[in-house]
Chains A and B, each alone.
Chain A
Amino acid sequence: MSEFWIHPSLVLFAGAALLPFLRAKERMIWLLAVPAVVLALVLTMPSGEFGSTAFLEWTLVFGRVDALSRVFAVIMALMCLIGSLYALKVKDTGQHVAAWTYVGGSLGVIFAGDLLVVFLFWELMAFSSVFLIWARRTPESLAAGFRYLLVHTFGGLALLAGIVLYGAAQGGDFTFAAFSTVDPGLGVWLILVGVLLNAAVPPLHAWLPDAYPAATFSGSVFLSAFTTKTAVYALCRGFAGFEILIVLGVIMALYGVIYAFLVNDPRRLLSYHIVSQVGFMVAGVGIGTAMAVNGAVAHAFAHILYKGLLFMGCGTVLYMTGRSKFTELGGLYAKMPWTMFFTLVGALSISAVPLFSGFVSKSMTIAAGYEAHHYWAAFLLMLASVGTFVSINLKLIHSIWFGERRADDETWEKAADPGWNMTAAMGVTAFLCFIIGIFPASFYNLLPHAVDYRPFTSYHLSETLQLLAFAALGYYLLRKKLEPKAVTCLDLDAFYRTGGRGFAWLASAPLQAVDRFWSALHEKGGIVPLMRSALGVGRFDNRYVDGAVDGTAHAVRVLGNRLRPLQRGSLQQSLTLAFAALAGLLLLFYLLA
């Protein structure tokens, strides 16, 4: 390592550690300064391999900087800055600490050169991000957080098992590089399961629409960006050309939009759209050509911005009104026009409307599908685009801002555009969505492979405009069917929720009865006779054996009774006394020695 290199995650961890000690004004400056430094670090980072450390018989690599890791790191650092600006006035310091630790975990995975480091930061992401859910402090968020943690623990175990098996098969080489698509082995498949769980690929996806809407209004902005897109990075790095990903990606893309039609919570709708949009990326990785991987990366970059913007818009509605259901909102454009405008920019971007970011990113993956002759996949992804446009632009925007006013008077009174920091965060993100959409060439320069793709052709424009305009006509004709309803939707998490309730019943009813019966039997048939015989043996030992020798047992018992008052019943006090006694003994030992 010849050049000085500092891991951006370390800057975030150090920044997070100092946050609780800062006063309100200093903290606001710190909340912007630290992510700005991280972004500057990432932007100016030279390519190469840094931060190699010997650990047992392996060399861990914390800093592999190349085109792929750089583009993901840039967007993660940028989103950290935007998210921190949005959450600038959140007084709960724990949320900021959790968010930065989470981002640090994501950057750690992105810069990791080997699978052991990947696992370390992968787990850090799961265990820090859950606090963004719990921080909402509602019974729903507490339960959702536990389910989130349990599911990610399963994913982490699959990942670890896969890493161990893969490393053993490679003779101890844990380098994180492209895995062979020819007979990859059990280890690689298990790693893929762990990664696919974080990418929210059905049937391992239900944690996402369960947990993200339960998070705090600003926490969900962070959550929307990091877990799934870090998984997309891992897929791009290791699994390009795994054709099963094309099938899974297409299923994701359609699954997400179909559920988005059904739900009644804007942030749950957006969560299903994460599943859908990540489907485009997963399919791109599966296609595996340079253009398809570029498309996946470009779409991940654009998606982080527009999805963050959409979550900021809906989070602002939640923050300002306290409401998070379509059936309790409607007609808010008059009260929150700028929030509506910025959210609309996010909606136009995710729908791949020309001049917005999604148009120049999503189409690259679909075009790569056509070029690689995966026609069925490309046509189905176009179908998913129809669903995206209808459910986001028409259902979400219409139901919150333009539809019939369903809000009560109290909600209506509270509704207003938010403070300067939230407005600025949304404004900057909207601007970036627009800039990427009109200047794609500069954006394409960030991608890992050379780009030979022109989005602004007459055919592509005609194709997109027809598709979206006639989808809008379809919505207009079917609009009565898409009116919001006060419902919840069952998803595959019902299996483990039902399983959890079944286990609780099993533990509380039959198992507890067996345990009670066994305990009674044990007590009457085992403990009582045993105690009696032990008492007899003790008396014999004390009176005849110890008394006949030197009386040590008697002396220890008397000393024990004298020391008993020191035992207060508090573990901390007992530990303190024990350590004080140990320190005294050591001091005595050194003085006498």
Chain B
Amino acid sequence: MTLLRIIESLRARSATLLKAGIGVLVLLVVLDALPFVVDKADAHTAAERLPGFWAVYGLAGCFLLVYFAKTLGAAGIQKGEDSSDE
């Protein structure tokens, strides 16, 4: 099956994919800093005009949400499956 072969092929090259992913991250920030590529006139606030603003926001947001959720889970939101009252 073609789809399966594509997936297997990508998984076999996971190290290369990781390097390509890092390259994409760098490229996105570089492109964001080039005014002739990304027109910051559409930005709504001054902060958004900083190069890589949304990159920092995405990374920090992910950390914030994951740690906040884990803290809530540890505070008693998460219970063992045996404690279900269904």
Contacts and interface: CB of A to CB of B under 8 A. Distances in A.
Interface of A: 139-140, 143-144, 257-259, 261-262, 264, 333-334, 337-338, 341, 370-371, 375, 378, 382-383, 386-387, 390, 457-460, 462-475, 478, 481-482, 485-491, 497, 501
A490 B86 CA distance: 12
B83 interface: yes
B59 A258 contact: no
Contact of B55 (A390, A458, A470, A497): A470
A470 B4 contact: no
23 contacts: A259-B69, A261-B73, A262-B77, A341-B3, A383-B57, A386-B65, A390-B62, A458-B37, A459-B41, A462-B28, A464-B54, A466-B57, A467-B55, A470-B59, A471-B58, A473-B25, A474-B58, A475-B62, A482-B66, A486-B81, A489-B77, A491-B77, A501-B85
Given A386-B62, A390-B66, A467-B57, 11 more contacts: A259-B69, A261-B66, A261-B70, A458-B37, A459-B40, A466-B53, A470-B54, A470-B58, A474-B59, A487-B78, A487-B81
A273 to B, nearest CB: 13
Contacts of B73: 261-262, 487, 489
A269 to B, nearest CB: 12
B78 to A, nearest CB: 4
Contacts of A341: 3
Contact of A139 (B37, B57, B86): B86
B15 to A, nearest CB: 14
B66 A469 contact: no
Contact of B44 (A378, A488, A501): A378
Contacts of A497: 85
B85 A383 contact: no
A258 B86 contact: no
A370 B44 contact: yes
Given A462-B38, A487-B79, A488-B79, A143 B66 contact: no
Interface of B: 1, 3-4, 7, 21, 24-25, 28-29, 31-32, 37-45, 48, 52-59, 61-66, 68-70, 72-73, 76-81, 83-86
Nearest to A382: B57
B64 to A, nearest CB: 8
Contacts of B31: 462
B interface secondary structure, majority: helix
Given A469-B58, A473-B25, A375 B66 contact: no
Looking at A467, A470, A482, the one whose CB has the most chain B CB atoms below 10 A away is A470
Contacts of A487: 73, 78-81
Given A375-B45, A378-B44, A466-B55, A490 B62 contact: no
Nearest to A378: B44
Nearest to A500: B85
Contacts of B61: 382-383, 386-387, 467, 471, 474
